[in-house]
Amino acid sequence: MSQSACSAAEPYALRVMGDSMRPEFEDGHIIIVDPGVPPFDGAFVVLETAGEFQFGQLRLQSGSQRLHFLNPSCHSVAMTPSCRIKGVVVQRFTGRRRDLKHYPVPDFV
């Protein structure tokens, strides 16, 4: 993913690869990620670790952060200090207009 053509604060689109976030996000869905939205518990986020990107749900538990996956066959992972949250998912698009879904950001964020 290269963001050289846009500001670091501009929303960008990514294609979901794999099944770790099924059934909400299927392989091939397009997600809109907004790096300007502060991460919050329960948010769907994109994070970077050592040049690799992952997509999951942020879970804050007892002062620790975990990346949770919706597919029950995938185990959540503890986030380390080297993990950088790159943005919060604000929309999902499946390829059909009627399936466009917005993910609201709470007022407290």
Q: State the average pLDDT for the chain.
A: 90
- Each residue of 23-56: pLDDT tens digit? 999 999 999 999 999 999 999 999 999 899 999 9
- Each residue of 56-101: pLDDT tens digit? 999 998 889 999 999 999 999 999 999 999 999 999 998 777 778 9
Residue 51 CA to residue 74 CA, distance in Å, equals 21
Beta-ladder partners of 49: 52
Q: How confident is the model at residue 3 (pLDDT cuts 50, 70, 90)?
A: very low
CATH code for the domain defined by 12-102: 2.10.109.10
- The pLDDT assigned to 6 comes to 58
- The pLDDT assigned to 2 comes to 42
Residue 83 near residue 47 (C-beta atoms within 8 A): yes
